[in-house]
Structure 1
Amino acid sequence: MEEVKKDRREPEKIDLIQLLQEFGKALRRMFWAPVLLAVLLAAGWGTRTWLSYTPQYASEATFTIETISDSLSDISGSSNYYDKATAEQLAKTFPYLIQSDLMRSMLQQEMGVSYLGGSITAQAVPNTNIFSIRVTSTSAQEAYDILNTVIEVYPQLADYVIGTTEMNMLTPPSLATEPYNALSLRGSIVKGAAAGAFLGLLLVLAYAATRRAVRTSEDVRRRLNQTCLATLPRVRFKRREKAIDKTVSIQNQLVSSAFQESVRSLRIKFLRTAAQRKSQVVMVTSTMPGEGKTTVAVNLALSLAQNGSRVILVDMDLRKPSVKKALGVTEASKGMPELLEGKGEQVKDYLTPLKDVEHLCLLAGDVPAANARRQIESQRLEKVFNALRSEADYIILDTPPCGLVGDSAIVARKADVSLYVLRSGGAQVSHILDSLQFLGASGCPMMGCVLNGVQEAWSGYGYGQGYGYGSRYGKYSYRRKKEES
């Protein structure tokens, strides 16, 4: 008891390889998420860039500035001098003067405007008397006019601070012919697509990391508190030019030996457990469609019959019969819906011996029941099961998924034990636990679980099984999975 409590307190370790495998599965299922986000963000980013784009034009001028003083004169009578101290003083004061509020006021007055739309920046080349002015605006003409006005006004403003100055133009202003900030929609679209794809992958990774599913027999014991009777590997049929038999059956020679050995192991444990509990009627169910419950029921029945036991395999999925298809049987026959609707017929008259397999009979039809719920709840069902008990050693019932419809819980009241099929990495643990609790309320003991579709690390097995309810069954609508090939 202390060990169980200790295990519950320990945090669950993250298996990186398992996480990557789950991420790959989730990405195959949710590949549309990164694609959709990439398209949406690319369109949004591109539209935002296009709507917010405003062309900007720039005019620049480069010149030297010299101070003029009366204290020092040259031979011609002018007093021009330039030294390092003056350069440092100009470098500090020039940008300040150009960008000051006083300069903007003088520019507005000189240009006769109440608002100056352009932006003015000034820069001094260190340790020189070379300076540059750059004016940017949404109008090329406005930027050009402002720059010319700055050149005219600056000497007047400089007289108040550093004395008389003289500007010698190195690069005169020019009227811009095209904006310097060219519109780049391609770059914005690429950035948006990359951001969307990255965000989509993060969402898929988060989904994979938070998804709690059963993948190993240890998960069955630890997360579900159930016994795992057997694990069946995935079975994948290679693509061939000719049509091949793709029934997942131990009779099919194309099915791997690993799958056949796993079924034999399931039979051995089944016989031991059934003998201990004196169980004869065994229902096989699952949480969701596509987990392989019909495949398990069919192969368990085949293996028991090959071992010499008299077996009746009953298709109790009255909404979507699938046993005959799983066995590859095409001959017409009547099943449980016809038997429950009939009056006075003997149960043995509805049993169909399976060709090439001794001791195995089918009670499976081709037509779904018109009112499956009513037939499942009929009093005649109890009589049918009592009659079946006298005809075979084991009655295997293939029932609908108990996580979606309530038929299995009703059938469970007539069965001795239930065998629960789980697909590795399939339904969420919370959903499985809810289904097990719902099934347990019927009072039917749990024989154990079969973990189906286990992907071995170095095996080449793979398995795909189709299952689905059509829309004519109302809200119980299932989606059929494609068979892997």
Structure 2
Amino acid sequence: MQTETRTDRNVYSSPEPMDFTEILEDILRCLKRYWIQLLLVLVAAAAVTVAYLNASYKPVYSAKVTYAVNKTGMTENDAALAKRLSSSVAKIYGTYEFQDELFDSIQEKSLDPGKCWISTQYTEGANLFTVTVSSNEFRNVDPVLEAFQQVYPRWADKSNGSVELETVDRVQASQIPDNPYSMIDCAVKGLLVGLVLVAALTFLYAQTLHTVRKEKDMKKVTSKGCIALIPDTKMKKRTNENKSHLLISNKRIDWSFKQSMLSAQSRLDQIMSRQEQKVLLVTSTLPQEGKSLMSVNLALAAVQNGKKTVIIDGDLRNPSVGRVFGFEGKTLGLSDFFDRKADPDEIITRSGELAVIGGGTRTGGVSGIISDEMMEDLMGYLRRVYDFIVIDTPPSGLFSDAAILEKYADTCLYVVRQDMATLHEIQEGIAPFIIENKLAGYLINRSSASISSYGKYGKYGYSKYGHYGKYKRYIKTTETSMNTEDTL
């Protein structure tokens, strides 16, 4: 409906207060999901920092002299004078006149006082101050300090009258730098820089993440309810057994997954029964969201609930329903029906009590062969024979096929895989079904929330995908890898 679409867009764009708990969860999710990349960033940042510190390291050597000021004989006055002299040393040292006189006092003319710098420290409340001469070259320090001791007293007299400066202490430069190079310190600093960078990247990830992580995220897209949260689960291992399919008819599937799928089918049945509906269209935004497996499991759940059920593979671009049962491309299917090579009853393949209409024997360039008249006839036939009809379609976020097939369905279930498609992509993909008021609700697949009380689960039993044109396939299984013993 148009009103809901406009309202949802406003909700989607409205700002929300920052939820630090969610940000922390997103940061932890980022660390879990991209830990290898972040580890590489950490190592690279640490290596660059260590290399920079190593290249920019310059040793610093220092020598210092401590003066006691005696002029008035009164401690407070002499202390104030010492403070004033301490603050003026650096200014005097920076003048050209002082530098020239200092240079003339140095016996070794190859030394350069300009490569040294001066710092002072005043002893609070006392008539003492310390002058420190520092340089990156060890040989400069002691000669410059010695020349300074010869020249400075005269300059102090010029600016403050007759001042008696008594040398209390003198410390010559050590061949060990004041800032000795430490590889450990550099490594620690590099590690800290890397950690700060990783923290900044994870926080940025959390701030810019606009995927669905929880049920409430979908409230920004549609006011329809969540049909079910399908947990991230795994197959139960069997000795010397590598075959696996995430089907509720498989005895090795985790109980929580089966319960979630049965719950989803039961809720859909309640929604559809109230409206006397039979045909459910299942789609998603992107490939790899588990749309086809959700379609198959909903059909299997309906069979377990005693419904006479048929599932149609409407994804003629990349038929995968028949592939799950091991007969894709080997039996007559939907493409053969549209090519007028088979009647409706001839394209139905039985797998236990479930009827399956696969993609058919024709492959490639079949997405435009759907005939409106023939599809109406097929759906009329199936409505008369079956209690529950599931149509699996291509991702609506990429292709218009789902929107085209929507007119043959009574309602639609939208599959959303947690933390995959962005809210904007979902909003665009789900819009046709909201506008036509055919959205029953959505299902969050591979969810890590709410269902955790059912048990622990690991990775999905999904096999890896091949290519879907330029996109990836949803499922890649072959007949030899089918678990025919426990499936259907």
For 1:27, the equivalent position in structure 2 comes to: 31
SS in 1 for 2:139: helix
**Larger relative contact order, structure 1 or 2 (CA cutoff 8 Å, min sep 6):** 2
1:346 equivalent to 2:346? Answer no
For 2:415, the equivalent position in structure 1 comes to: 421
Structure 1 residues 101-148: Cα deviation after superposition (integer angstroms, max 9, x where no partner): 464442134347997332133456567777644211233222222112
Deviation at 1:468, TM superposition (A): 6.9
Q: 1:232 to 1:110 in 2, by over 3 A?
A: closer
SS in 1 for 2:440: strand
**Counterpart AA for 2:345:** K
For 1:447, the equivalent position in structure 2 comes to: 440
Deviation at 1:435, TM superposition (A): 0.8
Paired with 2:437 and 2:129, the residues of 1 have a C-alpha distance of 93
For the 8 Å contact 2:311–2:390, the answer to whether it is kept is yes
Structure 1 residues 127-174: Cα deviation after superposition (integer angstroms, max 9, x where no partner): 777764421123322222211212223454455555485856754645
1:42 to 41, 46, 58: 46
For the 8 Å contact 2:348–2:355, the answer to whether it is kept is yes
For 2:366, the equivalent position in structure 1 comes to: 372
Q: 1:403 to 1:331 in 2, by over 3 A?
A: closer
Paired with 1:224 and 1:27, the residues of 2 have a C-alpha distance of 30
SS in 2 for 1:147: helix
SS in 2 for 1:372: coil
Q: 1:479 to 1:347 in 2, by over 3 A?
A: closer
Residues 123-142 of structure 1 mapped to structure 2, 5 A cutoff = 123=121, 132-142=130-140
Paired with 2:379 and 2:103, the residues of 1 have a C-alpha distance of 102
Deviation at 1:15, TM superposition (A): 6.1
Paired with 2:63 and 2:258, the residues of 1 have a C-alpha distance of 83
Identity of aligned residues (%): 26
**Counterpart AA for 1:459:** Y
Q: 1:59 to 1:439 in 2, by over 3 A?
A: same
Q: 1:185 to 1:114 in 2, by over 3 A?
A: closer
For the 8 Å contact 2:314–2:391, the answer to whether it is kept is yes
Deviation at 1:278, TM superposition (A): 3.9
For 1:74, the equivalent position in structure 2 comes to: none
Paired with 1:135 and 1:458, the residues of 2 have a C-alpha distance of 70
For 2:462, the equivalent position in structure 1 comes to: 466
Deviation at 1:326, TM superposition (A): 4.1
For 1:237, the equivalent position in structure 2 comes to: 235
Structure 1 residues 339-393: Cα deviation after superposition (integer angstroms, max 9, x where no partner): 14644422322221113xx3x2112258782113233468755554444445433
For the 8 Å contact 1:377–1:410, the answer to whether it is kept is no
Q: 1:395 to 1:53 in 2, by over 3 A?
A: same
Q: Structure 1 stretches of 5 or more lacking a match?
A: 68-80
Q: 1:231 to 1:136 in 2, by over 3 A?
A: closer
1:333 equivalent to 2:330? Answer yes
Q: 1:22 to 1:323 in 2, by over 3 A?
A: farther
Q: 1:341 to 1:91 in 2, by over 3 A?
A: same
For 1:75, the equivalent position in structure 2 comes to: none
Structure 1 residues 314-334: Cα deviation after superposition (integer angstroms, max 9, x where no partner): 22222333324545x469732
Q: 1:126 to 1:290 in 2, by over 3 A?
A: closer
SS in 1 for 2:114: coil
Q: 1:59 to 1:351 in 2, by over 3 A?
A: same
Structure 1 residues 250-291: Cα deviation after superposition (integer angstroms, max 9, x where no partner): 322333444444444434443444344443332211122333
For the 8 Å contact 1:318–1:336, the answer to whether it is kept is no
SS in 1 for 2:27: helix
Q: 1:432 to 1:378 in 2, by over 3 A?
A: same
| Larger Rg computed on CA atoms | 1
1:302 to 300, 305, 310: 300
Q: 1:343 to 1:180 in 2, by over 3 A?
A: same
For 1:146, the equivalent position in structure 2 comes to: 144
SS in 2 for 1:373: coil
2:101 to 100, 103, 106: 106
Bigger CA drift: 252-261 or 160-169?
Answer: 160-169
TM, length-normalised to structure 2: 0.76
**Counterpart AA for 1:301:** A
CA RMSD of aligned residues (A): 4.3
Deviation at 1:11, TM superposition (A): 7.6
Paired with 1:124 and 1:272, the residues of 2 have a C-alpha distance of 86
Residues 242-391 of structure 1 mapped to structure 2, 5 A cutoff = 242-243=240-241, 246-327=244-325, 329=326, 333-336=330-333, 338-340=335-337, 342-355=339-352, 358=353, 360-364=354-358, 369-376=363-370, 381-391=375-385
Bigger CA drift: 473-482 or 290-299?
Answer: 473-482
SS in 2 for 1:302: helix
Deviation at 1:224, TM superposition (A): 1.0
Q: 1:120 to 1:318 in 2, by over 3 A?
A: same
Q: Structure 2 stretches of 5 or more lacking a match?
A: 478-488
Bigger CA drift: 395-404 or 380-389?
Answer: 380-389
> Number of aligned pairs?
459
1:91 equivalent to 2:89? Answer no
